[in-house]
Structure 1
Amino acid sequence: MIRTKTANDIVKLARSSERITTREFINEIFDNFVELHGDRYFGDDGAVIGGIAYLEKQSVTVIGIQKGRDLEENIATNFGSPSPEGYRKSLRLMKQAEKFNRPIITFVNTPGAFCGIEAEERGEGEAIANNLYEMSQLKVPIISIFTGEGGSGGAIALALADEVWMLEHSIYSILSPEGFASILWKDSSKADEAAEIMKLTAYDLKELGVIEKIIAETDNQQDKSSKQISQNLKNELINKLNELQQLDDEILINQRYDRFRKF
């Protein structure tokens, strides 16, 4: 797959309100989705969707970060920036998945974790760190798909997986191009230049070995429909889960550990 757009163009596409949302992917790919709510500590975070569903005949746990398409939806989902309770909800569902031997599939689309004072008061950093610690030891397969933005710890808190995939026009980085430009050059207007050198596109990260797969959004430079993208992703998930479920628990965990240690 050859990149035909600039990194800055891909950043704009990744942030577009027209991108397929987590809820839309769930509706297209899975059957009989039952959404579960709450972290059992503080409340329910609208930025994180999670529950149980079927992938063909396989029972799975699905978790994802949701963005809205308009202002009302974005307010309800905090513009896709989870609070501590969102990460704790996701971990609760992942531990439940392990208990019942269900594979875990996560969808990531976030500019980063919510950075408000109240989030810090409720332990945002601890919630993210605990997710990373626990996900590294889960005895079930985990596949994470970046569908839009993948910002810093807020993204990796749902992406410590056996395989990490990205949609063709998604991004994954330690911070935004604007933040990078502000730190490096004291000028956020150089974000387009920063995007090119940050290696944040799916193409760059596949070449660097940070991700395993790119899910195509175009065919001969023509945009695919959401149904085509979802069907392709569904087929890829079925095949990879069949492969991962053949592995012994200890091998699965060791391979996941080695995957992240290589960086």
Structure 2
Amino acid sequence: MEYLDFELPIKELEEQLDKCTIIGQESNVDVTETCKQIEKKLIDTKKSIYKNLTAWQRVQLSRHPSRPYTMDHIRALTGNTFLELFGDRAFKDDKAMVGGLAKIGGQSFMIIGQQKGFNTKTRQYRNFGMANPEGYRKALRLMKMAEKFGIPVVTLVDTPGAYPGLEAEERGQGEAIARNIFEMCRLKTPIITVIVGEGASGGALGIGVGDRVYMLENTWYSVISPESCSSILWRSWEYKEQAAEALKLTSFDMKKQKLIDDIIPEPLGGAHYDRETTFKSVEEYIMKAYNELKDLSTAELVAQRMDKYSKMGEFKE
């Protein structure tokens, strides 16, 4: 298990508990009471730390290397029913964007999401979860296919942003994302969006328009990352913590501003501490949303979605 800087007190207590357990196993000394005291202190420390997380600490948790990624969620939610589909039928297949047909709880869904890698080789293969225009065009192709056959869409968002390279801009990165937002607003099938990690910039918005939008507790959603915001405003990445607070990017900030529909709770310590519980919670929210949306007519569905996004933000005419 890797520990973040603010989790070091937890690491020390867990090491003490391991040593205490080993002493008890290898000697005749009764350390039961000591182990219980350490366990109690460990639980109290965890509760104290995770109850008072700053915005930057939640950003760090959303990037934890042990955190389940999109494909982990897909495998857990769908078992072995996932049939991955490839290509945008225009340029090539984008490995950062995955999608395909699967069943969750007996119901067919078109599942689309960004996939990061878990080591150096797979991170390069997946382009660190940063999709090119062909990735967004593939996502749109799959969504239009789902619309044609009346299949609801689930999108899983986890990206540090759309790929900012020159070749991506040459192939129309901005147009591809804008087209997805436009088409998703009027897609004639339910769309359920879950932010499972990072929800950064247009890269997230390209598959982030939904009838129901949920965020896992320790995720973030913003127009820009704290580091990039810091480098623009302060000409340095050193102010990323202040930037994270100012951006109001946590799930609780998003819920307060009515930009998402609900927060999916995570186990104490984050999704990586208890993956099974996290997967079960995500499935419950997806099925709850589907049951709320499935009986709406196409006209009602699109009208409610358009109304939902029209009400966001403050403006004067």
Smaller-chain TM-score bracket? over 0.9
Residue among 146, 150, 153 paired with 2:199? 150
Residue 195 of structure 1: aligned partner: 244
Amino acid at match of 2:76: E
Amino acid at match of 1:78: N
Stretch deviating more after TM superposition (197-206 or 222-231): 222-231
Residue 179 of structure 1: aligned partner: 228
Unaligned runs of 5+ in 1: none
Task: Provide, for residues 217-236 of structure 1, a one-character-per-residue CA deviation record: whole Å limited to 9, x for no partner.
Answer: 125x6865111110111122
Amino acid at match of 2:226: P
Residue among 297, 300, 304 paired with 1:248? 297
Q: Is 1:141–1:244's contact at 8 Å kept on the other side of the alignment?
A: yes
Task: Provide, for residues 213-252 of structure 1, a one-character-per-residue CA deviation record: whole Å limited to 9, x for no partner.
Answer: 1111125x68651111101111221121011011111111
Q: What is the distance in 2 between the residues matched to 1:222 and 1:159?
A: 22
**Matched ranges for 1:5-24 at <5 A:** 5-24=53-72
Larger radius of gyration: 2
Amino acid at match of 1:67: K
Normalised to the residue count of structure 1, the TM-score between the two structures is 0.96
Task: Provide, for residues 11-44 of structure 1, a one-character-per-residue CA deviation record: whole Å limited to 9, x for no partner.
Answer: 1111222111111100111141100000000000
Q: What is the distance in 2 between the residues matched to 1:8 and 1:197?
A: 10
Residue 274 of structure 2: aligned partner: 225
Q: What is the distance in 1 between the residues matched to 2:58 and 2:270?
A: 15
SS at match of 1:18: coil
Residue 131 of structure 2: aligned partner: 82
SS at match of 1:61: strand
Q: What is the distance in 2 between the residues matched to 1:122 and 1:12?
A: 32
Q: Is 1:53–1:60's contact at 8 Å kept on the other side of the alignment?
A: yes
- Alpha carbons of 1:16 and 1:230: their partners in 2 closer, same or farther (altered >3 Å)? same
Normalised to the residue count of structure 2, the TM-score between the two structures is 0.80
Say which structure is richer in helix: 2
Tell me how many residue pairs correspond in the alignment.
Answer: 261
Amino acid at match of 1:88: R
The alignment yields a C-alpha RMSD, in angstroms, of 1.4
Task: Provide, for residues 64-84 of structure 1, a one-character-per-residue CA deviation record: whole Å limited to 9, x for no partner.
Answer: 100011111100110010001
Q: What is the distance in 2 between the residues matched to 1:71 and 1:253?
A: 42
Task: Provide, for residues 141-173 of structure 1, a one-character-per-residue CA deviation record: whole Å limited to 9, x for no partner.
Answer: 001111111111110110111111111110000
Q: Displacement, 1:187?
A: 2.4
Q: Which consecutive segments of 4 or more residues in structure 1 shift more than 3 A?
A: 221-224
Say which structure is richer in strand: 1
Amino acid at match of 2:208: A
Residue among 6, 29, 32 paired with 2:77? 29
Amino acid at match of 1:166: M
1:238 aligns with 2:287: yes
Amino acid at match of 1:8: W
Unaligned runs of 5+ in 2: 1-49, 313-317
Q: What is the distance in 2 between the residues matched to 1:131 and 1:147?
A: 20
